[in-house]
């Protein structure tokens, strides 16, 4: 195997794109991990690229685990500075700063459900406490890292950290116990049920250099009932709220209306019919759902006093708006409901998943901010057993993590199709997105207890205005009665 290809470092005035920010972070990471040479020069170069990356709002909006990566780079910057040019005496102020950065990275990786990186950074917390000379805190931090290894099934790390912990505690070495394989088999076994559902959503968009937030929330009652050999999953919509305060008086009505439509569509779930074995069959009463969504959209846009636009010029927000509108008509509702049900339920029927193993599959998903469905490369993993609801000790549910990005070949084909349909000629079109999903489900019945969807996107067409940049987080919790 050859060496990794060199990182192409963007110029200081390079366009602000996700690729530019990722390249700066990757370069900074490579410099703090390098050995030899002038350490002061390496760390200065790393700091410069780190600072340029952090100055971009994209590090928060569209770079996966952006802030966590920054914190891990900061840890290495401070740790390396503690020993750079100081001989045998480390700089204690830099070690303390390294400890703060490592602790921040642990928290940020946990929030992003990157448990492997979280556990590694917790190990770094322990070793930094040891460098600072606090044996008790070092042991406590390493014990916590060992607990993470056990909880998430990191058997190899658990063995190494367990042996290290014994050395730190001056205990004799013992052969580590054989790690018991942990797996889960998920079964479809719905039963008549009723659940109170709470949905909360946050949306962020970069508009003319400013990051604008909007939000929505909703309550509903979800019913699962038998229909002959089939099952009907239906909703009674409850209270819905929309917060677009930051958008008032902003000169971007097209994007405001699109985000309002996206929020309205996500606050009302259509009813669906599934077969006895869990196969998706149809949407139930699509007209009722579209009527509710249209009513909410009219109310929100009325509050914003948005003018109707009749522009014939191509605009990215117009394309985005078309994609959202497509989801609120009957065919679009069915397609989205089918895809959502597949990724949250039917994909897992009779699946046996080993803890901590990442699996691959390909599936067609709606591409955020684009008016089309695209094959996505999907990785998924069973991370750990968890309580079905907060505050309950019994771990009767499981946590499943899913990461999806557009398949490169499928994306290129779809971009080519769009360019021809829009008659863009040689104009460059750039699109990227990522969607992360956290599921909490009862493996014995495949009834959901919680889900969290995080998506971000970057969409630009050369010569057609500013890029479309945004992110969303959609959290749903189910309380069964």
CATH number at residue 131: 1.25.40.10
CATH number at residue 328: 2.30.230
Residue numbers of the domain that contains 449: 185-480
What is the DSSP-derived secondary structure letter of residue 24?
H
Q: Looking at residue 128, what is its pLDDT?
A: 98
Distance CA 216, CA 474 (A): 9
Percent of the chain having pLDDT more than 70? 94
User: What does residue 385 show for φ and ψ, rounded to 5 degrees?
Assistant: -75, 145
Distance CA 105, CA 62 (A): 18
Please tell me whether residues 215 and 291 are part of one structural domain.
yes
pLDDT at 5 over 80: no
Q: Rounded mean pLDDT of 440-447?
A: 96
Helix axes 66-83, 18-33, angle to 10 degrees: 30
* 168, 201, 231 - which closes a domain: 168
Q: Is 283 helix (H, G, I), strand (E, B) or coil?
A: strand
- What are the tens digits of pLDDT across the range 343-376? 999 999 999 999 999 999 999 998 998 878 899 9
Q: Looking at residue 307, what is its pLDDT?
A: 61
Please tell me whether residues 460 and 359 are part of one structural domain.
yes
Q: Looking at residue 1, what is its pLDDT?
A: 39
More confident site: 419 or 81: 81
Q: Rounded mean pLDDT of 187-198?
A: 96
Q: Looking at residue 306, what is its pLDDT?
A: 67
Q: How many CB atoms lie within 10 A of CB 459?
A: 21
| Total structural domains within the chain | 2
- What are the tens digits of pLDDT across the range 307-343? 655 544 556 777 777 778 777 777 888 888 999 999 9
Distance CA 427, CA 422 (A): 11
Q: Is the separation of the CB atoms in 364 and 411 below 8 Å?
A: no
Q: Looking at residue 187, what is its pLDDT?
A: 97
Percent of the chain having pLDDT more than 90? 67
- What are the tens digits of pLDDT across the range 161-192? 999 999 999 887 666 665 666 999 999 999 99
More confident site: 25 or 297: 25
Please tell me whether residues 144 and 284 are part of one structural domain.
no
* 140, 168, 196 - which closes a domain: 168
Confidence of residue 382 (pLDDT cuts 50, 70, 90): very high
């Amino acid at each position: 195997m050859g060496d990794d290809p060199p990182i192409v470092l963007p110029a200081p005035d390079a366009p602000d794109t996700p690729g530019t920010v990722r390249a700066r972070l990757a370069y900074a990471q490579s410099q703090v991990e390098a050995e030899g040479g002038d350490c002061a020069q390496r760390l200065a170069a790393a700091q410069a690229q780190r600072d340029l990356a952090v100055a971009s709002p994209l590090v928060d909006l569209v770079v996966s685990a952006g802030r966590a990566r920054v914190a891990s780079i900061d840890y290495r910057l401070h740790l390396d500075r503690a020993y750079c040019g100081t001989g045998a005496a480390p700089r204690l102020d830099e070690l303390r700063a390294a400890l703060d950065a490592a602790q921040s990275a642990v928290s940020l990786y946990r929030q992003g459900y990157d448990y492997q990186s979280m556990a590694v950074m917790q190990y770094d917390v322990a070793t930094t406490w040891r460098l600072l000379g606090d044996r008790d805190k070092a042991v406590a931090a390493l014990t916590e890292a060992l607990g993470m290894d056990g909880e998430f099934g990191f058997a190899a790390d658990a063995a190494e950290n367990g042996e290290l912990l014994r050395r730190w505690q001056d205990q004799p070495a013992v052969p580590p116990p054989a790690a018991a394989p942990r797996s889960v088999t998920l079964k479809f076994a719905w039963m008549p049920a009723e659940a109170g559902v709470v949905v909360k959503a946050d949306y962020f968009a970069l508009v003319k250099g400013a990051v604008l937030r909007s939000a929505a929330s909703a309550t509903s009652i979800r019913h699962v009932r038998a229909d002959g050999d089939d099952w009907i999953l239906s909703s009674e919509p409850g209270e819905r709220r929309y917060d677009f305060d930051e958008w008032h008086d902003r000169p971007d009505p097209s994007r405001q209306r699109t985000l309002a439509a996206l929020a309205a569509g996500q606050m009302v779930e259509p009813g669906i019919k599934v077969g006895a074995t869990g196969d998706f069959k149809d949407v139930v009463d699509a007209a009722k759902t579209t009527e509710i969504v249209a009513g909410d959209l009219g109310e929100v846009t009325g509050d914003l006093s948005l003018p109707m636009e009749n522009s014939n010029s191509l605009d990215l927000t117009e394309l985005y708006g078309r994609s959202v509108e497509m989801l609120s008509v009957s065919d679009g509702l069915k397609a989205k409901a089918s895809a959502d049900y597949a990724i949250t339920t039917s994909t897992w029927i009779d699946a046996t998943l080993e803890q901590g193993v990442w699996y691959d599959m390909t599936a067609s998903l709606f591409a955020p901010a684009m008016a089309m469905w695209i094959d996505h490369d999907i990785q998924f993993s069973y991370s750990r057993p968890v309580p079905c609801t907060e505050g309950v000790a019994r771990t009767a549910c499981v946590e499943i993590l899913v990461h999806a990005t557009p398949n490169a070949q499928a994306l290129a084909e779809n971009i080519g199709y769009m360019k021809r349909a829009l008659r863009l000629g040689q104009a460059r079109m750039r699109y990227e997105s990522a969607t992360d999903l956290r599921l909490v489900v009862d493996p014995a019945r495949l009834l959901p207890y919680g889900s969290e969807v995080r998506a971000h996107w970057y969409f630009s067409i050369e010569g057609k205005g500013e890029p479309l940049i945004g992110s969303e987080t959609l959290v749903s919790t189910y309380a069964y009665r």
